[in-house]
Amino acid sequence: MTATTMTGDAGSAIRIENLTKRYRGHVAVDGLSLDVPQGAVFGLLGENGAGKTTTIQVILGLLAADGGSVSVLGLDPARRGIEVRRKAGYVPEQPALYDWMTVAEIGWFAAGFHPDAATGTGGYQARYAQLVEGFGLPPRRKIRALSKGMKAKVSLSLALAAEPPLLVLDEPTSGLDAMVRREFLESMVDIAAEGRTVLLSSHQIGEVERVASHVALVHKGKLILAEPLETLKARTFLLAMTFAGRDHPERPPAGLPVELIDAADAPRQAHWLVRARDRAAAEAVRSMPGVESIQVETPSLEDIYIGYMRGRRPQAPAAASPAAVVA
């Protein structure tokens, strides 16, 4: 296999251009473009119904798009879905497992889909057994007798045992306890360090912040922004401002090099979440008339997420062009 077929063009594990998907007239994904660089832990964030699962299903060739193009590991999932699914490990929100099999049997069964030249199915089975042991799963218990969290661990073990170049995880940790969730997410960083790619849809924003190299925010099927987490955090600031008078502007004046994402105003006070080139640019609001004091803070990813989602958002520069996704 050549590097080009492994990674797609220019080091992208996934490249989506102008994807649209409708369900009986309802637009679930609306002109979404996204570039997931190889080796990224890419967090896909968005409220319920934003279109994350729909996008993931198109990526895996499980759902046909109505428009746009998608390339996954250099393959078109609409035409070569089986190959895409063989190469990409997928952990769905609600894993469908044969519940009459035991934990060990389902590993043996799945191994048949992942033979390799050197060990046949032995390599997969050995890795699966190791993961099962690491997760503390009872190998002889039937799937139907497992708890929700245990089923999630089986599903993860099945995906990880294949050592896929791309892992697609849709809310993978929702049934896991806090300790396992953290361990699991941190293991995603090791996977990325090996040059493999992880696409992770999650509502656990604090946890995404700990492990993601890149994030995308999706709102009502549209991309709001997608960029390296480091860039997002270096360019987003929380300004806590006090004004001399009761009334004050509701937004920075047009001439200043800051862009308002979200605002909470009170008499004499304002909290603005802004995007700016750097801290010095954010501090330019000091020059506004009537400013008494200003504190510049670095917001958490959750603050940034909520700010963007609250809806008072002008066109962010990163949203204007999908090319703004920086590897």
Ligand X SMILES: Nc1ncnc2c1ncn2[C@@H]1O[C@H](COP(=O)(O)OP(=O)(O)OP(=O)(O)O)[C@@H](O)[C@H]1O
- Interface residues with ligand X (CB under 6 A)? 23, 26, 28, 46, 48-54
Kindly report the number of other CB atoms within 10 A of residue 290's CB atom: 13
CA distance 278 to 50: 30
Q: Is 75 helix (H, G, I), strand (E, B) or coil?
A: strand
Smaller CB distance to ligand X: residue 152 or 256? 152
Starting at the edge strand found earlier in the chain, the sheet holding 12-23 runs 26-37, 12-23, 67-72
CB 326 within 8 A of CB 228: yes
Residue 249 burial (C-beta neighbours within 10 Å; 0-12, 13-18, 19+) = middle
**Quick one: which H or E segment has residue 132?**
helix 122-134
Smaller CB distance to ligand X: residue 217 or 273? 217
Smaller CB distance to ligand X: residue 30 or 259? 30
Smallest distance, ligand X to C-beta of residue 48, A: 3
CB 221 within 8 A of CB 51: yes
Smaller CB distance to ligand X: residue 38 or 173? 173
Smallest distance, ligand X to C-beta of residue 16, A: 14
Sorted by sequence, the CB contacts under 8 Å of residue 257 that are 6+ apart come out as 276, 277, 281, 284
Smaller CB distance to ligand X: residue 137 or 218? 218
Tokens representing 91 are 């952990």
Smaller CB distance to ligand X: residue 66 or 230? 66
Smallest distance, ligand X to C-beta of residue 88, A: 17
Please report how the helices 103-111 and 122-134 are oriented relative to each other, as an axis angle in degrees rounded to 10: 150
Smallest distance, ligand X to C-beta of residue 78, A: 17
Smaller CB distance to ligand X: residue 95 or 123? 95
Smallest distance, ligand X to C-beta of residue 17, A: 18
CB 239 within 8 A of CB 272: yes
Residue ranges with strand state E in the chain = 12-23, 26-37, 41-46, 67-72, 88-91, 166-170, 197-201, 214-219, 222-228, 236-243, 258-266, 269-276, 291-297
Smallest distance, ligand X to C-beta of residue 28, A: 3
Smallest distance, ligand X to C-beta of residue 218, A: 7
CB 274 within 8 A of CB 263: no
Smaller CB distance to ligand X: residue 52 or 127? 52
Tokens representing 98 are 């044969």
Smallest distance, ligand X to C-beta of residue 51, A: 4
